[in-house]
Structure 1
Amino acid sequence: MNIKYYSRPGCGLCEEGIELLKIVQEDVPFTIEEINIETDDSLHERFMLMIPVVEKNGEIVQYGLLDYVTLLEGLAIEEG
């Protein structure tokens, strides 16, 4: 499973969020694709006020202030 993580450099919440996502990754196997929203104008416009954003299969799992329980539940759900 691949998770997209939208963030930007210099974002304190983003730095905390990626660390939390790595903790969740210890319990649920997935890869993290980090995407800098500042490299794409449409992503910047879409996510500028929301980052960090965790996305699974095109659906936002959580954004802003991330928490372990919500991420674990959102990422642990089996597809199918």
Structure 2
Amino acid sequence: MSARVTLYTRQGCHLCEAAREVVARVCDDLGETFDEVDVDGDEGLRERFTDEVPVTFVDGRQHDFWRVDERRLRSALGG
């Protein structure tokens, strides 16, 4: 089963670190998993998301960028 949440990040990004903490906490609480993808490892992703990282997707749809709202993420995951 694939992860419902995908977090697009980059190295050295303080907003990415904060987003990762929220996503990890929510997913852990709800028994979900998440994938993390470094946008700088793929030219297409870097071009698409470079000014918006971190970007969070839930069930394949963009959910948030820059900051992750914990209540919204929990709601999107049914928690």
**TM-score, with length taken from structure 1:** 0.85
The Cα offsets for residues 28-74 of structure 1, whole Å up to 9 and x where unpaired, read as 22211110000001100111111111112220121111121111112
For residue 31 of structure 1, the aligned residue among 33, 55, 58 is 33
- State the shift of 1:76 in Å: 2.0
- The answer as to 2:36 corresponding to 1:44 is no
The aligned length equals 77
Output the TM-score relative to the length of structure 2: 0.86
Q: CA deviation at 1:15?
A: 0.3
- State the AA in 2 paired with 1:22: A
Q: Which moved more, 1:66-75 or 1:37-46?
A: 66-75
Deviating beyond 2 angstroms after TM superposition, the runs of 4 or more aligned structure 1 residues are none
Does residue 72 (structure 1) correspond to residue 55 (structure 2)? The answer is no
Identity of matched residues, %: 30
Structure 1 stretch 35-44 or stretch 51-60: which is displaced more?
Answer: 51-60
Gaps of 5+ in 1: none
Alignment RMSD (CA, Å): 1.5
Amino acid at match of 1:73: S
User: Which amino acid is 2:22 matched to?
Assistant: L
